[in-house]
Amino acid sequence: MIEVSLHPDHETVGDAAHLTLPASRWEILEALAQAGIPSLDDCHIEITLPPLMPQAQECINDIPQQAGFFDALNYFAHCLSDLSEGDHSLLNGAAAIHRPTNMRTMLNLVWHLDSIVVGEAGCDEKLGRFLVENDFVSFPEEALPYLDYARVGERHRASHLCTFAGRVYYEDTDPVIEAVFDESLMCEIPQWAFRAELCHVDAPAEDSPTVTLELPAFPQDITSALADLGTATMEDVRIVDCQSHIPTIQFFKGVQLSELVECADLLTGMDDDDYIKFLAVAEYEHWWQLSDIIPGLKKLADYDFTPQSLLLEAQGSYGVVFTIDPGPALTSDCQMEHQMGGLA
The full set of domain ranges for the chain reads 2-83+95-111, 115-172, 189-338
**Best CA proximity match to 322, nearest among 267, 271, 276, 272:** 276
Measured over the CA atoms of residue 87, residue 90, residue 94 and residue 96, the dihedral's sign is positive
Q: Residue 198: its pLDDT value, please?
A: 92
Say how many CA atoms lie within 13 Å of 304 toward its Cβ.
8
pLDDT per residue over 114-162, tens digit each?
A: 999 998 898 999 999 998 988 888 888 888 888 898 999 999 999 999 9
Q: Residue 249: its pLDDT value, please?
A: 66
Q: Torsion angle of alpha carbons 277, 282, 288, 290, nearest 10°?
A: -60
- Residues 2, 45: contact at Cβ < 8 Å? no
Element (H, E) at 45: strand 43-48
Q: Residue 303: its pLDDT value, please?
A: 72
Percent above pLDDT 70 for the chain = 81
Spatial CB neighbours of 19, under 8 Å, sequence gap ≥ 6: 3, 4, 5, 6, 27, 28, 31
Amino acid found at 262:
E
Asked whether residue 315 carries a pLDDT value surpassing 90, the answer given is no
- Residues 171, 162: contact at Cβ < 8 Å? yes
What is the DSSP secondary structure assignment for residue 10, as one 8-state letter? T
**Best CA proximity match to 97, nearest among 45, 169, 167:** 169
Report the topology of domain 115-172: Arc Repressor Mutant, subunit A (1.10.10)
Q: Residue 297: its pLDDT value, please?
A: 84
Asked whether residue 311 carries a pLDDT value surpassing 50, the answer given is no
116-119 and 168-172 beta bridge pairing: antiparallel
Q: Residue 309: its pLDDT value, please?
A: 39
pLDDT per residue over 249-281, tens digit each?
A: 666 667 889 988 998 888 877 777 777 778 777
Question: Which of 30-39, 64-73, 211-220 bottoms out in mean pLDDT, i.e. has the lowest?
Answer: 30-39
Q: Residue 55: its pLDDT value, please?
A: 93
SS3 207: coil
**Best CA proximity match to 64, nearest among 108, 11, 107, 102:** 102
Give the C-alpha separation, 13 to 47, whole Å. 14
pLDDT per residue over 11-31, tens digit each?
A: 666 678 889 998 877 788 878
pLDDT per residue over 222-252, tens digit each?
A: 999 999 999 999 999 988 888 886 766 666 6
pLDDT bin (cut points 50, 70, 90) of residue 93 is very high
- Residues 109, 98: contact at Cβ < 8 Å? yes
Amino acid found at 109:
L
Peptide bond just before 175 cis, omega within 30 deg? no
pLDDT bin (cut points 50, 70, 90) of residue 339 is very low
Report the Cα–Cα distance between both ends of the chain, in Å, rounded: 39
The mean pLDDT of 60-64, rounded to a whole number, is 94
The mean pLDDT of 194-221, rounded to a whole number, is 86
Highest mean pLDDT among 14-23, 108-117, 177-186, 328-337: 108-117
pLDDT bin (cut points 50, 70, 90) of residue 10 is low
Q: Residue 248: its pLDDT value, please?
A: 62
**Three-state secondary structure string covering 71-108:** HHHHHHHHHHCCCCHHHHHHHHHHHHHHCCCCHHHHHH
Spatial CB neighbours of 160, under 8 Å, sequence gap ≥ 6: 171
